[in-house]
Amino acid sequence: MPKLAEGKVIVVTGAGRGIGAAIAKLAAKEGARVVVNDIGVGLAGEGGDKSPAEETVSEIKKAGGEAVANYDSVAQFASAGKIIQCAVDTFGRIDGVVNNAGILRDVIFHKMSEDDWDSVVNVMLKGAFNMCRHAADHYRKQESGAFVHMTSTSGLIGAMGQVNYGAAKMGMVALSKNIAVDMQRFNVRSNCIAPTAWTRMTASIPPKDPAAAKRVEQRKQVSAEHNAPLAVFLLSDAAKEVTGQVFSTRKNEIFLMSQPRPLRGIHRAEGWTPSTCAEHMLPALKSWFFPLDRTADVFPWDSI
């Protein structure tokens, strides 16, 4: 049976552990040559350790695959360029980028510092832009390429104490969609996945009540590897008709997520005033308002 990613050169950021490592290893198993990017920092972005990236590369090579480690940061534009150049210098081209690198600075909004905000947004949203922008030059010339961005239901739906994380992850959805629109003329595709897995990042968030503790036990059944098949598929030519989409994975479930579209409209020929907004618009649209859901409210059942 042919390998789905045969001949592809793929960069996976944050690939030293967790979901990134699972994607890198499966991509290599499916025939891709992989750049395993990871600067080896802690969850909050502190420190630095080359061993996570090296361990992923070692596992890929032991399984008969091809990979190289890279330790440059996605958060700075020039540094991100070195990651893409590493793929080109080592393997001769670049065909796919998985924007998976991320850090966590969970804190309730009214206590969130500027550094909490900047650190998360710079790594995830700006980092995704940096990676995509450098890869785009190569994609345009070769008229092919794919991006996969790891978003989150913290942005798509909402979560407690994750204003910075949720904003960055929702920003990645808009980034992906607009890249898909701009670069479709070059046969470049861009899609998002909101993953579910028990990783060191999710393990770092303490349960706030018994219901949350129960969800933690259920989430422990979902491994990082459950998210890799969809990502590798989206990087392959088998997904040539898939672009601008947002998916979510939960163990053996795959969801196509909605995107903002008009739900209901009302019109006044004479225009609107603040008073008519209160008297007319509010009662006409209120029943269509979205509640303040969190992820657990939208996905209340156990992963299958």
Residues with a catalytic annotation lie at 165
* Amino acid making up residue 242: V
Are 168 and 120 a contacting pair, CB within 8 Å?
Answer: yes
DSSP 173-202: HHHHHHHHHHHGGGTEEEEEEE-----HHH
Chain-centroid distance, C-alpha 26:
17
Helix (H) or strand (E) holding 68: strand 66-70
Are 232 and 4 a contacting pair, CB within 8 Å?
Answer: yes
CA–CA separation, 179 vs 185, rounded Å?
11
Listed in order, strand segments (DSSP E) in the chain are: 9-13, 33-37, 66-70, 96-99, 145-150, 188-194, 246-250, 253-256
Residue 266: which of 286, 247, 252, 248 has the closest Cα? 286
How close are the terminal C-alpha atoms of the chain, in Å? 28
Do you know the residue count of the chain? 304
Are 236 and 4 a contacting pair, CB within 8 Å?
Answer: yes
CA–CA separation, 87 vs 100, rounded Å?
17
- Say which residue the tokens 């968030």 belong to: 205
